[in-house]
Amino acid sequence: SSPHLQTYEQRAKKHGNPAARKLLETMERKKTNLSVSVDVTKKKDFLAIIDVVGPFVCLIKTHIDIIEDFDQTVIEHLQELSVKHDFLIFEDRKFADIGNTVALQYSSGVYKISSWAHLTNAHAVPGPSIITGLSSIGLPLGRGLILLSEMSSKGALTTGSYTEDAVRMARSRRDFVVGFIAQKRMDGIGAIEADDVTEEDFLVLAPGVGLDSKGDAMGQQYRTPREVVLESGCDVIIVGRGIYGKSDQLDVENVRKQAERYRQEGWSAYLERVSL
């Protein structure tokens, strides 16, 4: 049956990529398909939010380049928290250049993303060479790549044949590409008869998730965990402001409450889905 009707545990056993396998195992063990996107600019707030939501998530999503007071201790603490709370790390870098450049951006510079992020992502726009470049660094380290095949923002150009071509790119590199940023499952999309799609299991990570708001003033659009997981078959819900609210007024107790609430919503939608 289609991967989204199988349990995360069943899928973990069959997955060929170590980062995807570890993520699926973590989801099953902690009973969570929640990823929190920690988009704040101070390292103190960044680490405080992660310490509070850690018990409720399978994956922490970062934009490491928005932290104003970044230094190497941010990564050290992030890694300590990932062990303490048992979650994986996903740097939402959205690479979008030629293979040689993305290989350097992934491995080098200030952030050395490949040394600490289990997952990172890339736009499909440069074509297959972006996967060649990133995999030359990430594959030996056991990392996984997520391709953006759809975006959550109003008017996104990631539709139709672009989405199909992105899925085709992923299909030809299943050793390294483990899933998509998308709004729905991509099973069989763009496949031609010669493609064997029966063995493919792409994880679908869905941003644009919120319970109390339909969007923001800059084009973001929100759907509920139930819409995303049950109706659209996505595997991981990515929630940012829905959990930490306004970062200049951090209310730690409320952050904990919201993380538990989204975990519960996402997990019950998953349970309903696999029991269909």
Annotated binding site: 39, 61, 152, 220, 240-241
Contacting ligand BMP (CB under 6 A), which of 85, 174, 241, 256?
A: 241
Is the alpha carbon torsion for 135, 62, 52, 260 positive or negative? negative
How far is Cα 162 from Cα 64, in angstroms, rounded to an integer?
Answer: 28
User: Contact between 242 and ligand BMP (CB under 6 A)?
Assistant: yes
How far is Cα 263 from Cα 99, in angstroms, rounded to an integer?
Answer: 37
| Distance in Å, CB of 224 to ligand BMP, minimum | 13
Q: Looking at residues 108 to 167 of the shown chain, list those that interact with ligand BMP (rule: CB under 6 A).
A: 151-152
How far is Cα 107 from Cα 109, in angstroms, rounded to an integer?
Answer: 7
37 Cβ neighbours under 8 A, 6+ residues apart: 61, 62, 63, 92, 207, 238, 239, 240
Catalytic residue numbers read 92, 94, 97
The two three-digit tokens of residue 268, written as one number = 């019950």
DSSP element (H, E) containing 144: strand 144-148
**CA 204 from centre of chain:** 8
Q: Which is nearer to ligand BMP, 137 or 238 (CB)?
A: 238
| Distance in Å, CB of 37 to ligand BMP, minimum | 4
As beta bridge partners, residue 37 has 61
| Distance in Å, CB of 232 to ligand BMP, minimum | 14
Contacting ligand BMP (CB under 6 A), which of 99, 144, 207, 266?
A: 207
How far is Cα 237 from Cα 224, in angstroms, rounded to an integer?
Answer: 9
Q: Looking at residues 55 to 74 of the shown chain, list those that interact with ligand BMP (rule: CB under 6 A).
A: 63
Q: Which is nearer to ligand BMP, 24 or 209 (CB)?
A: 209
How far is Cα 182 from Cα 59, in angstroms, rounded to an integer?
Answer: 16
DSSP letters spanning 167-178: HHHHHTTTTTEE
Q: Which is nearer to ligand BMP, 110 or 157 (CB)?
A: 157
User: Contact between 39 and ligand BMP (CB under 6 A)?
Assistant: yes
User: Contact between 49 and ligand BMP (CB under 6 A)?
Assistant: no
**Mask for 81-110, x = binds ligand BMP (CB under 6 A):** -----------x------------------
| Distance in Å, CB of 39 to ligand BMP, minimum | 5
Q: Which is nearer to ligand BMP, 196 or 246 (CB)?
A: 246
Q: Which stretch binds ligand BMP (CB under 6 A): 19-27, 108-116, 237-245, 257-265?
A: 237-245
Residue 196: exposure state from Cβ atoms within 10 A (0-12, 13-18, ≥19): exposed
Residues that bind ligand BMP (CB under 6 A): 37, 39, 63, 92, 151-152, 181, 207-208, 220, 238-242
